A and B are shown apart, each in its own frame.
Chain A
Amino acid sequence: MKGSEILIKALEAEGVDTIFGYPGGAIMPVYDALYDSQLKHILVRHEQSAALAADAYSRVTGKVGVCLSTSGPGATNLVTGIANAFLDSVPMVAITGQVGSALIGTDAFQEVDIFGISMPVVKHSFLVRRVEDLAETVARAFKIARSGRPGPVLIDLPKDVSIADLQNPKFEGNQIEAMPRPEAKQLAMARSMIQESRKPLVYAGGGIRIAGATEELIAFVEATGIPCVTTLHGIGAIPAQHELAMGMLGMHGTKHANMAVQECDLLIAVGARFDDRVTGKLAEFAPHAKVVHMDGDQFEISKLRSADCGIVGDIKVSLNFLHAKPQIEEWVATCMERKRQYAFTYDAPGDTVYAPGFIKELSDRAGDNTFITCDVGQHQMWVAQHYSFNLPNHHLTSGGLGTMGFGLPAAIGAQLAYPDARVVTMSGDGSFMMNIQELATVKRYNLPIKIVLFDNQALGMVRQWQELFFEKRYSEVDLSDNPDFAKVAEAFGIPAFRVEKREEVGPAIDRILSEDGPLLAHVFIDQAANVWPLVPPGKNNSEMLEATTV
């Protein structure tokens, strides 16, 4: 059996059904083997999209995403997508073709040291030197990608290895490893800390999705009656409409969430990592709180904020054990009162489209089986604030790397995983241009993805920062010469229409919800609309700027 066939068989042994890639010289033997294989290969139009689509495929299915490229430029194009998976803890195996072993290190045609280039953004990497090692390397790569804190693993495959022959290769496949059980002593301590607290708060992060612990989180919140704030990646861990859900905390968090954090006496961090977007000035974050920190990754505990009680291991087991009954009526009433007082409103003046209102209406009408992907910028924060998610894997956002261009390839990955689900990507006029070529992929596979393109003729988020923190010196953020995106989409064979006035929003959403195939809505919004509230960089979370204060 040839190395390339061994690779395909080893992927199949891991339960892989779909891979995303782009061919080229050094990976040609693998593409030749794909020709006869059952694996579904999705041809994207830029390798970055292969990695981003594989990332999204993994986020929605919980499986390991797989992407494939050739050596040299193919491999370097993958890097942003690999880094995206690394920073958002998404399990992925990226396979790159490499020049023949004898040519490695000679600056051969399309040779780059992708092993070295990718080193800081992978969990681990392999250069396969012998065909005998290939099947086992693939199995190890999958195991590493999904164990502990998940992440991407690179396999660099020299061409001579993929054409080499091997008799009777062995394929083992992997069992998914169980998370270690948390320590009883730590659990008991956490339980009594919760019992004694008077102002406790749950701070839920992306670790809930990774651990598949949404049910346990909701049960814990309901049993204890403790209000819950979420990070960007924690959104959906508790349904947005749940009475104890307080919305997102941090830089663009809700006022009531951030006030609760700053006042609580016990912060119960669950699968969250005290990221700087969340904490603002770390030394002043939750200043009165003791911290219980639960995480599957032992290295996260006390990394940035020292935990009074760290619990390593299966979050589900921990949450189930911690059903204490603290006396917190007064605190909960305060939180709920503020939640009412500071709820978002959608009555912005004017007749231009108000993006938060658009998102809210779509959310109210789209139904549960809907995946939303987004790009990076103001529109991304509006999605986080105004779309009501009921499950964490229905919100696909590039949180760690903040990769403009994530939205469309992510929608492709999600739609291929769930062909019958509704998939909507919400993008910005800047971000959309970063992977606009994937309209061809949408068309080729006839994916019924709905694209909502919020066009403020600007790199809006950068513009907002220039307005607020750089004395309105708007440097290189103008996009008033945008192309006609509807015509662009039509050129790719995708129907499209313009939405210019607020009164057109309802009919636009009708169309988005009723049309069968792909569709692009080019939505014009006011450049001056900003994201509120905002905690300025380096400030603490009680120093929020609001629309009315600037």
Chain B
Amino acid sequence: MRFTLDVTMANTEGALERILGRLRQRSFNVCALNAGLSANMARMDVRVTLESARPIELAIKQLAKLIDVEGVEIIKAEEHHHHESKLRHPHNHTHGHHQDHRQHAPFEHRQPAFDLSPSQIGL
């Protein structure tokens, strides 16, 4: 399954690295990446296409947990009906110069439980 996410974040030391590290550690392969700073250099917009056997909600939650991340939004899901799931970071506010006028619902979704392979559970 492939998903494209838009991530908006504060432009702080290591911000992009944090995103990529988090995705790698949680087993999401990055297929494409595009990142750019806002005009005043305070924020960064990242568009990332991911591939993984794990549910995309896991990636969204893990990214949204990062302190610098202000919003995560699915913009494309291949082999899937287009659906939107988005999450605003609880610590952050939307910055004025990039207002997103759509409504940001609090994160509330259902996902099927998934199991980690028992053979990977060890001492």
Contacts and interface: CB of A to CB of B under 8 A. Distances in A.
Given A120-B25, A148-B90, A538 B14 contact: no
Contacts of A465: 123
Interface string A130-161: 00000000000000100110000000000000
Contact of B65 (A129, A299, A310, A538): A299
A310 B110 CA distance: 10
A340 interface: no
A87 interface: no
A465 B122 CA distance: 10
A282 B113 contact: yes
A478 B111 CA distance: 46
A306 B65 contact: no
Contacts of B18: 119
A418 interface: no
B67 A276 contact: no
A129 B12 CA distance: 12
B115 A125 contact: no
A28 interface: no
A148 B90 CA distance: 9
B21 interface: yes
A281 interface: yes
A404 to B, nearest CB: 12
Interface in B85-104: 90-91
Interface string A297-308: 011001111100
Interface string A104-123: 00000000000110011001
Given A120-B21, A147-B91, A306-B112, A537 B118 contact: yes
A11 B83 CA distance: 46
B113 A276 contact: no
Nearest to A302: B111
Interface residues of B, number: 33
A305 B113 contact: yes
Contact of B118 (A123, A127, A302, A538): A538
A369 B19 CA distance: 44
Contact of B115 (A147, A180, A281, A302): A281
A124 interface: yes
A299 B64 contact: yes
B17 interface: yes
Given A120-B25, A299-B65, A462 B123 contact: yes
B115 to A, nearest CB: 5
A276 B113 CA distance: 13
A302 to B, nearest CB: 6
A119 B115 contact: no
Contact of B17 (A116, A148, A303): A116
B44 to A, nearest CB: 16
A302 B110 contact: yes
A115 B67 CA distance: 15
A539 B118 CA distance: 8
B123 A461 contact: yes
Interface in A141-197: 144, 147-148, 180
B113 A115 contact: no
Contacts of B67: 123-124, 144
A550 interface: no
Interface string B66-77: 111000000000
A296 to B, nearest CB: 11
A116 to B, nearest CB: 7
B57 to A, nearest CB: 8
Contacts of A120: 21-22, 25
B110 to A, nearest CB: 6
B13 interface: yes
B115 A116 contact: no
A126 interface: yes
A283 interface: yes
A152 to B, nearest CB: 13
A465 B111 CA distance: 34
Interface in A512-550: 537-539
A419 B21 CA distance: 42
Given A125-B14, A127-B13, A306-B113, A276 B121 contact: yes
Question: Considering the complex of A and B, which 8 residue pairs feature the smallest CB-CB distances, nearest first?
Answer: A538-B118, A124-B67, A282-B115, A537-B121, A283-B115, A299-B61, A127-B13, A276-B121
Interface of A: 115-116, 119-120, 123-127, 129, 144, 147-148, 180, 276, 281-283, 298-299, 302-306, 310, 461-462, 465, 537-539
14 contacts: A116-B17, A120-B25, A124-B66, A126-B13, A127-B13, A282-B113, A282-B116, A298-B90, A461-B123, A465-B123, A537-B123, A538-B118, A538-B121, A539-B118
Given A281-B115, A537-B123, 8 more contacts: A120-B25, A180-B90, A276-B116, A302-B109, A462-B123, A465-B123, A538-B118, A538-B121
